[in-house]
Amino acid sequence: MLNRENSGRIHIYLPFLAIFFAFMVVEARLYWLQIVQHAEFSEQARGEQIRKIEVAPKRGTIYDRNLQKLAINIPSYSLYARPKKISNPKQVATLLAPLVKTKSSLLRNKLEQKQIFVWLKRKLPLSQKKQIENLNLEGIGFVEESNRFYPQKELASHVLGFVGVDNQGLAGVEFSYDNELKGQRGHFWIRRDALGYEIPFAREILQTLVPGKDLVLTIDSVIQSIVEEELAIALKETQAKSVEALFMDPHTGEILALSRRPSYDPNHYGDYPASAQKNHLIQSIYEPGSTFKVATASVLLEENLVDMKERIFCENTLRIADHIFHDWKEFNTDLDFYTIVQHSSDIGMIKLASRINNDIFFQYIKHFGFGTRTGVDLPGEEKGIARPSSSWSLTDPPCIAIGHGIAVTPLQMVTFLSAAINGGKLLRPYVVRAILEPGGRVIKKNNSHLVRTIISDSTSSMLREFLKGVVAGGTGERAGVSGYFVGGKTGTAQIPLSGARGYAEGRYISSFMGFAPVGSPKVAGIVIIKEPTGAYWGGEIAAPVFGRIIRRALPYMNVLPEDEKWVKVS
């Protein structure tokens, strides 16, 4: 009887005990979630409600030396979608595809993503924005962004470079000075509701954006335009593979103009091949040919290895080891040093250069800056090829003496020429004069930088006279400009075979490097014509282009004709 009573009581209390224990479990779970894991779930909830947004700052403006704008920013409109608000992704993709020039399948894939926000197309112009807005599509919107724009199009494109879709520098000064130009990105939080939409007035700024700094280049837009116009004419006249030119101030290292044809428009850089975008004047090397004789002559003068009165017999051919050297024309007579340079006799220069010790010759080559980067503030500079004298064969010294067996950049040649005529000062070339704050205050100024002195002032003075003679009555006559004394040196070189010894038949690089006026040089430069059709001598096709550029540039630079100067002084 007692057992039955106890059993009945247990049955009565059992449900209450079960409820009690269940309540305790729930209480323990709530304690764990609300107290122990409170911080973790709060952070998770915050992450679901808040999104970090980056804002790109205004990229710095790029000016030429006279504050003409070369790279600016204009408004653009980036198209985005909120997939959750789009009921028919296929239809929307079909409508947008022709307007944004993107395959509808790619757009549809983006619109079907399970994301709150997706980019559909970046950096659209206002005209396309209006076309899309006229469709009145739900879940589609725009964010205004800054788009890089080059108002002068191709002008100085190889100096300026270009930027990518996120305004990051990819070439030229846009790349090498990207840290200065890009500024500092801003960040802010936005709060979202349960459906993922932004809650109005619920933004929190984390980092204020800082606009980029401005650049002032050494480039002169007028001289740059002159160079580009003359190169375009030369390309058409010679039917060459390419033509290029570089001009600098020989006393400061400031690059005044740098150009190549064919060129490209940085506003649409993706429409051009990589070869057109490449800055060949600093990123490509070539054998300089007879223009390198200026370097050989510098060594002969500096080492006192030549007597100005002596005469060297310049036969048509000369055998050295297993190689026969040919002169470019038949001299077959005695020539003095001045005339050998003036008329560019290969045999005469080879004979004189044989007096130079190989190790000393190589030391001078390196001393002159060949085989070493100049340090110019542009990306991708090549250092050239200058093999050590320990690896030279018997035919290497005579080849190098006349500009073969060595590879240089056009920039290296002009940098060396500037030193050869400015008293011997090898300067580091540069393209950025100053960095400015957005308000215009100069925060950094680039000045002339002396690398080292490479020759004496007396040697430099003699070289100016020698090179003056090249234009006055030698191979560079067609570079002459009425009223001015111009100095320079012609060059014609065959193009080496790719992956094999020897040179390509009928393929030449024609060049002329020079300076003006001889009495007080204000500009030094080089013109290079690669693989011309028909005539190919440097004095015949490159020298006239140099002369036309100088003829237009000197008056603009307020350089008086030397004869007028003399009349006024008297």
CATH of the domain at 124: 3.90.1310.10
Which of 62, 249, 96 has its CA nearest to residue 172? 62
Q: Is residue 36 part of a domain?
A: no
In this prediction, residue 201 has a pLDDT band, given cuts at 50, 70 and 90, of very low
- The residues, ordered by sequence, that sit 6+ positions from 292 with a Cβ below 8 Å of its Cβ are 400, 401, 402, 403, 406, 408, 413, 491
- pLDDT of 356 > 90? The answer is yes
Are 125 and 235 in the same domain?
no
Judgement on whether residues 369 and 490 belong to the same structural domain of the protein: yes
On whether both 506 and 381 belong to a single domain, the answer is: yes
Mapped to the 3 state alphabet, what secondary structure does 122-176 carry?
EEECHHHHHHHHCCCCCCEEEEEEEEEECCCCCCCHHHHCCECCCCCECCHHHHH
Is 243 part of a structural domain of the chain? yes
**Proportion of the chain above pLDDT 70, given as a percent:** 85
Q: Which residue has the higher pLDDT, 547 or 193?
A: 547
The DSSP code for 194 is T
Whether 143 and 225 map to the same domain: the answer is no
> What pLDDT score was predicted for residue 200?
45
Asked if residue 118 lies in contact with residue 80, where contact means CB atoms within 8 angstroms, the answer is yes
Rounded to 5 degrees, what angle do the CA atoms 555, 556, 560 make? 30
Indicate whether 440 belongs to any domain: no
The token pair that represents 129 in the structure block: 């924005």
The DSSP H or E segment spanning 244 is strand 242-248
270 pLDDT band, cuts 50/70/90, is very high
pTM of the predicted model over 0.95: no
pLDDT in tens, 387-439: 999 999 999 999 999 999 999 999 999 999 999 999 999 999 999 999 999 88
Identify the domain containing residue 97 by its residue range: 52-59+74-101+115-149
Residues 89 and 235 placed together within one structural domain of the fold: no
Q: Which of 149, 173, 207 is the last residue of a domain?
A: 149
- Amino acid of residue 382: E
**Residue 482 per-residue DSSP state:** T
pLDDT(207) > 90: no
Cβ atoms 468, 244 nearer than 8 A:
no
Helices (H), 32-100: 38-49, 89-100
Q: Specify whether 428 is located in the same domain as 547.
A: yes
pLDDT tops 70 at residue 33: no
Whether the predicted pLDDT of 196 surpasses 60 = no
Query: What is the average pLDDT value for the chain, to the nearest integer?
Result: 89
CB 370 within 8 A of CB 383: no
Q: Which residue shows structure tokens 């009573």?
A: 5
CA distance 152 to 118: 34
- Is 511 inside a domain boundary? yes
pLDDT at position 126 over 90: no
In a domain, 185, yes or no: no
Q: Are residues 125 and 260 in the same domain?
A: no
Active site residues: 290
**pLDDT at position 221 over 90:** yes
Q: How many CB atoms lie within 10 A of CB 192?
A: 16
Question: Are 332 and 471 contained in the same domain?
Answer: yes
Number of structural domains (the chain) is 2
Which of 17-21, 304-308, 410-414 is predicted with the least confidence, judged by mean pLDDT? 17-21
Phi-psi sector, 332: left (phi>0), alpha (psi -120 to 50), beta: left
Do 423 and 537 fall into the same domain?
A: yes
Query: Is the model's pLDDT at 165 over the cut of 50?
Result: yes
Cis peptide leading into 266, omega within 30 of 0? no
Asked whether residue 471 is assigned to any structural domain, the reply reads: yes
Q: What is the CA radius of gyration of the chain?
A: 35
Task: Say yes or no: 129 and 254 in one domain.
Answer: no
> Over the stretch 430-488, which tens digit does the pLDDT of each residue have?
999 999 998 889 999 999 999 999 999 999 999 999 999 999 999 999 999 999 999 99
Q: What is the CATH number of the domain that holds 234?
A: 3.40.710.10
Same domain, 319 and 401: yes
Per-residue pLDDT, averaged over 347-371, amounts to 98
Backbone phi and psi for residue 234, each to the nearest 5 degrees, phi listed first: -65, -40
- 129 with 249, same domain: the answer is no
What are the pLDDT digits (tens) for 130-140?
A: 999 898 888 88
Q: Is the pLDDT of residue 34 over 60?
A: no
pLDDT of residue 142: 84
- Residue 413 contacts residue 489 (beta carbons within 8 Å): no
Q: Which pLDDT score is estimated for 173?
A: 98
In a domain, 465, yes or no: yes
CA distance 316 to 352: 15
In a domain, 279, yes or no: yes
Give the span between the Cα atoms of 401 and 158, in whole angstroms: 32
For residue 439, the model assigns a pLDDT of 84
